[in-house]
Structures are given as C-alpha cells and as structure tokens.
A and B are shown apart, each in its own frame.
Chain A
C-alpha cells in the first residue's frame, strides 16, 4: 500500500488564527486528493477535494496541491473551536478503487 504521511500533532492554534495541515504522498501517479474531518466517535466527513495543481478555496478552507513535490495541504482560516478534530488526508490509489489515508493530524483550536 502506497504511503500517505501526516504529522500526527496535536497542532494547537488560537481561535481566529490560520491552521495549516500538511500531507505528503509517495505514489507519483496519484490524481485525486481529499481532506476529511473526523470528530471523536464519528465518521470521516469530506472537507475538500482537489485534482489539479494550485489552490482551491471553499469558505474558510483552502486546499493546495503540488504534484511535483507530492504535497497537499489544507489551510483553515479564522479557526474556530468547532474545527477541533482529526484531519485525514486521502489519496486515490493506482487502481482508482479506494483511497489511502494518512494517520491524521489532530487539531486543537483554543478559545
């Protein structure tokens, strides 16, 4: 299984700050990338998907993809305590029929 690497954290940011979450992947041919948020005891929910190099913005969230560096990141602007969760980076596999997940970064937004 190809690897998806994330810093496990916890990443602690004050309320209102920008949280920056990073992910690297090993499979050069990967084409689809996703960020999921998972609250404790809940299922993963999709935050962002990105398929092309560059930035993609959706509300307070911005996903950034650099295929040459095999790097994808998620920025959360104006962080809120409700953003405190584990953020999972996912990369579609070669076969296209599954996603490989990183181990997640725990984010804590302090009031």
Chain B
C-alpha cells in the first residue's frame, strides 16, 4: 500500500493554463507539505498544513493555492501557469511536529510549454 500518493505523476501543459495536483496519505499523519524541486535538485518548502490548518506559506506566488479538505489530503492548485513553474512537486507528510521525519510521495513532474 502506498503511504503518500500523488497524482498525476506527469503533467504537461501550456502557459496560462490552470492545473491541480492531488495528494493523499494513509499514514495517519497530522501534517502535510508541498515541496518544489527545481532543475538543480534543490528541495524548497512551499506550504505546510497541520490538521487542515495552514501553518507555513513560504514566498510562493499567490497563483499557487493549497487546499486541505481533511488531514489525509492536501491538493495544490496552480493558476495561470508560467514556464518557471516547471519542476517536480513533492507532497510529504509527518507526525505532528516536533515529530519525526517527512515521508515523501513519488512526485509530480510538471512541464509548462
């Protein structure tokens, strides 16, 4: 059974479009995250939710909007996609801080053309 699953695995779209990435975890964790990994492989935190409440919102354009319908799901909606949004987006989860490590999903490779 997949612990943290995200869909789709690949997403190719044109500039200006709106797209969503979905994430679900079955680990019973309280905290979920979105990370962006750029072409230089640097993993950067975007958002963190704890029990459906937004905890961290790093300097991310407001075209990115996370939504957490319940503590097992954290989706990411991106409006008006730009070329610079091309990256791999990872969802992750952890026990409520100061808990243990993050468990990552398999990533979504977003390519904006």
> What is A's interface to B at a CB cutoff of 8 Å?
1, 31-32, 34, 38, 42-46, 49, 86, 88, 90, 92-93, 95-101, 103-104
Contacts and interface: CB of A to CB of B under 8 A. Distances in A.
Nearest to B105: A43
Contact of B97 (A44, A96, A101): A96
B56 to A, nearest CB: 5
B40 A97 contact: no
A101 B90 CA distance: 13
B3 to A, nearest CB: 11
Contact of B41 (A93, A97, A104): A104
Query: What 3 A-B pairs have minimum CB-CB distances, sorted nearest first?
Result: A96-B97, A101-B43, A43-B104
A31 B100 CA distance: 11
A98 B45 contact: yes
A11 to B, nearest CB: 15
Nearest to A46: B101
Nearest to B40: A103
Contacts of B103: 46
Contacts, number: 60
B107 interface: yes
B55 interface: yes
Among B41, B56, B101, B103, chain A packs the most CB atoms within 10 A around the CB of B101
Contacts of A45: 104
A90 to B, nearest CB: 8
B1 to A, nearest CB: 16
25 contacts: A1-B44, A1-B58, A34-B101, A42-B106, A42-B107, A43-B104, A43-B107, A44-B90, A44-B104, A46-B102, A46-B103, A88-B43, A90-B101, A93-B45, A95-B56, A96-B97, A96-B98, A97-B31, A97-B48, A97-B50, A98-B45, A99-B102, A100-B45, A101-B44, A103-B40
